[in-house]
């Protein structure tokens, strides 16, 4: 059933891609093409496109981008079972779980440096004295899912715990026995071997482990994981780590964008986890961050302290209309369709013959931005109604040919355009 749904989705996606992106055959529109690291028309790309259709990681997960929380961006290595439990509690008590945030993901530093006598992972006793199984049971009892972290090398990036290289099957079985639902798999201390050799070993181990586990490849974009990720994992990092600054965030967005055509239900480009609420950007900058991640069909993994959300953070991460764009059933990643200096237009089709349009002013000064129908893939004569997703209102006027807005520096407007009449 899952397989059928997926292929229907793909067919729809392909049909839409043809309708909405008439210029696709002639190269990516706007300024995006020049930034692409890969030639999307090359025979290698076409080969991979055939390959990944044949080799779908058949765990049925990730039909829409995953949503949840991960410990790294706020807590780094300073984690323990208390903070994980309290975060699970807070996801429920704030109402975020009802909005779709379901994964509670433990990142690096959860295990002892030494495996046990049988070669099994051991939870770090000072931080997780009750063990991971008990924590998983607790998280599940809240109606949530739990994720864990390992590495495709000998040690994780923190070097405070082992990686899974050479222990893939054993570790996958351990994770399944604990009730783990999601694995983030890092790329540190790997002895210099290729990720295309190391990652599929864990894919096969997870498939044999007897429990569907979302497989998140954290390969940092080194060897274009977008080209081989779909047969290996449910998402793949296209960049190295984000940090909590405007420049870092926007550069992750830029690096992720050229791979848009390779995202689809079951496999997503991942520009790294959200920094919204961690304090390094303004509210408007975080709105740009959340908007780009949403229309890019990126995983929406919160990275702040859920136990202590400010009103501004809550307003951003709880925006149902923006979340709905991310979770749209077509699963088509938006593209940067025009870029002029610091002014950018991003757009992508969503279900119901609608299009999500993001106007981003990357400059410092207020500026008038325009999205033209021929850039965003609407027929020129289309009359469209515009819904402003941050203002939560449908604009009184309808629009033909273009829509404009005057936007402050480091700010955005996110619209859904719907053809009318």
Ligand X SMILES: *[C@@H]1O[C@H](CO)[C@@H](O)[C@H](O)[C@H]1NC(C)=O
Q: Catalytic positions, please?
A: 186, 241
Q: Note whether 401 binds ligand X by CB under 6 A.
A: yes
The residue among 332 and 369 lying less far from ligand X, judged by its C-beta, is 369
Stretch that binds ligand X, among 314-322, 325-333, 354-362, 397-405 (CB under 6 A): 397-405
User: At how many degrees (to 10) do helices 81-93 and 132-141 cross?
Assistant: 10
Indicate the residue among 351 and 420 with the shorter CB distance to ligand X: 420
For ligand X, which stretch binds (CB under 6 A), given 196-204, 295-303, 379-387, 395-403? 395-403
> Which stretch, 39-47, 71-79, 245-253, 376-384, contacts ligand X (CB under 6 A)?
71-79
What minimum distance in Å lies between the beta carbon of 288 and ligand X?
A: 20
> In the structure encoding, which two tokens stand for residue 346, read together?
């991003």
Q: Is residue 380 close enough to count as binding ligand X by CB under 6 A?
A: no
Residues 6+ apart with CB under 8 A from 292: 253, 298, 346, 358, 360
CA 229, 230, 231 angle in degrees (round to 5)?
95
Interface with ligand X (CB under 6 A), residue from 49, 370, 388, 419: 370
Q: How far is the CB of 212 from ligand X (least distance, A)?
A: 30
Among 83, 226, 253, 330, indicate the residue that binds ligand X (CB under 6 A).
Answer: 83
* CA 135 – CA 148 distance, rounded (Å): 11
| Choices 76-84, 179-187, 237-245, 376-384; region in contact with ligand X by CB under 6 A | 76-84
Establish if 402 lies at the interface with ligand X (CB under 6 A).
Answer: yes
Among 364, 400, 406, 420, binds ligand X (CB under 6 A): 400
Residue 125 touching ligand X (CB under 6 A):
no
Residue 407: closest CA among 349, 350, 342: 342
Report, in Å, the least distance between residue 106 CB and ligand X: 12
User: How far apart (Å, rounded) are the C-alpha atoms in residues 359 and 41?
Assistant: 28
Q: How far apart are CA 137 and CA 34, in angstroms?
A: 49
Q: How many residues bind ligand X (CB under 6 A)?
A: 14
Please classify residue 370 by burial: count the beta carbons closer than 10 Å to its beta carbon, then call 0-12 exposed, 13-18 middle and 19+ buried: middle
Binding to ligand X (CB under 6 A) within 275-314 occurs at 305, 308, 310
Nearest Cα to Cα of residue 296 among 360, 218, 228: 360
CB nearer to ligand X: pick between 5 and 283: 283
Shortest distance, CB of residue 329 to ligand X, whole angstroms? Answer: 31
Distance from C-alpha of 6 to C-alpha of 351, rounded to nearest angstrom:
15
Give me the least distance between CB of 86 and ligand X, in Å please.
9
Q: How many CA atoms lie within 13 A of 367 on its CB side?
A: 18
Q: Please, which residue, 111 or 263, has the CB nearer to ligand X?
A: 111
Q: At what angle do helices 283-295 and 246-256 cross, to 10 degrees?
A: 10
Phi/psi at 155 (nearest 5 deg)?
-135, 160
Dist CA 184 CA 120 (whole Å): 18
78 binds ligand X (CB under 6 A): yes
Site string for ligand X, 327-366 (x = CB under 6 A): ----------------------------------------
User: Minimal distance in Å, beta carbon 308 to ligand X?
Assistant: 4
**Can you give the length of the chain in residues?**
421
User: Any contact of residue 268 with ligand X (CB under 6 A)?
Assistant: no
Q: In angstroms, what CA-CA distances link 260 with 32, 47, 93, 298, 365?
A: 11, 17, 35, 10, 29
Whichever of 272 and 305 has its CB closer to ligand X, that residue is 305
Stretch that binds ligand X, among 291-299, 332-340, 389-397, 398-406 (CB under 6 A): 398-406
CA-based nearest residue to 107, from 62, 57, 152, 146: 146
Q: Which is nearer to ligand X, 57 or 357 (CB)?
A: 357
Contact 187, 194 (CB under 8 A): no
Of 85 and 204, the one with the shorter C-beta distance to ligand X is: 85
CA distance 83 to 177: 23
- Decide whether 102 or 305 has the Cβ nearer to ligand X: 305
Q: Where are the alpha helices (DSSP H) in 127-245?
A: 132-141, 168-178, 195-208, 225-228
Out of 80, 94, 160, 278, the only residue in the binding site for ligand X (CB under 6 A) is: 80
Q: Is position 75 an interface residue for ligand X (rule: CB under 6 A)?
A: yes
Which residues are near ligand X by CB under 6 A? Answer: 75, 78-80, 82-83, 305, 308, 310, 370, 372, 400-402
């Amino acid at each position: 059933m899952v397989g059928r749904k997926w292929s229907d989705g793909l067919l729809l996606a392909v049909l839409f891609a043809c309708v909405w992106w008439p210029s696709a055959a002639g190269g990516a529109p706007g300024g995006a093409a020049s930034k692409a690291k890969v030639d999307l028309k090359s025979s290698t790309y076409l080969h991979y496109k055939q390959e990944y259709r044949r080799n779908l990681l058949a765990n049925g997960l990730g039909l829409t981008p995953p949503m949840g929380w991960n410990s790294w961006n706020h807590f780094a290595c300073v984690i323990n079972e208390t903070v994980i439990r309290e975060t699970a509690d807070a996801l429920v008590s704030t109402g975020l779980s009802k909005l779709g945030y379901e994964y509670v993901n433990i990142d690096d530093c959860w295990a002892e440096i030494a495996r046990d006598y049988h070669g099994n992972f051991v939870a770090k006793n000072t931080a997780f004295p009750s063990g991971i199984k008990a924590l998983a049971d607790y998280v599940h009892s809240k109606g949530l899912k739990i994720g864990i972290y390992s590495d495709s090398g000998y040690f994780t990036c923190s070097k405070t715990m082992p990686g899974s290289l050479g222990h893939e099957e054993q570790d996958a079985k351990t994770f399944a026995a604990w009730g783990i639902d999601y694995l983030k798999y890092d790329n540190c201390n790997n002895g210099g071997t290729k990720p295309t050799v190391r990652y599929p070993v864990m894919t096969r181990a997870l498939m044999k482990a007897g429990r569907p586990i979302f497989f998140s490849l954290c390969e940092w974009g080194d060897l274009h994981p977008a080209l081989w990720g779909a047969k290996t994992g449910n998402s793949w990092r296209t960049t190295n780590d984000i940090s909590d600054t405007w420049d870092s965030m926007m550069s992750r967005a830029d690096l992720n964008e050229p791979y848009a055509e390779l995202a689809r239900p079951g496999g997503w480009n991942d520009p790294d986890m959200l920094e919204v609420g961690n304090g390094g950007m303004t509210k408007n900058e975080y709105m740009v961050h959340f908007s780009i991640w949403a229309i890019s069909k990126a995983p929406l993994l919160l990275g702040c302290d859920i136990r202590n959300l400010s009103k501004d953070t809550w307003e951003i991460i709880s925006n149902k209309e923006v979340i709905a764009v991310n979770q749209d059933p077509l699963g088509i990643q938006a593209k940067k369709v025009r870029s002029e200096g610091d002014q950018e237009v991003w757009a992508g089709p969503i279900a119901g013959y609608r299009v999500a349009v993001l106007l981003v002013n990357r400059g410092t000064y207020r500026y008038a931005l325009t999205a033209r129908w021929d850039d965003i893939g609407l027929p020129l004569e289309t009359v469209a109604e515009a819904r402003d997703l941050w203002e939560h209102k449908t604009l009184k006027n309808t629009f033909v040919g273009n829509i404009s807005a005057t936007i402050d520096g480091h700010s955005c407007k996110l619209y859904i355009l719907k053809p009318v009449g």
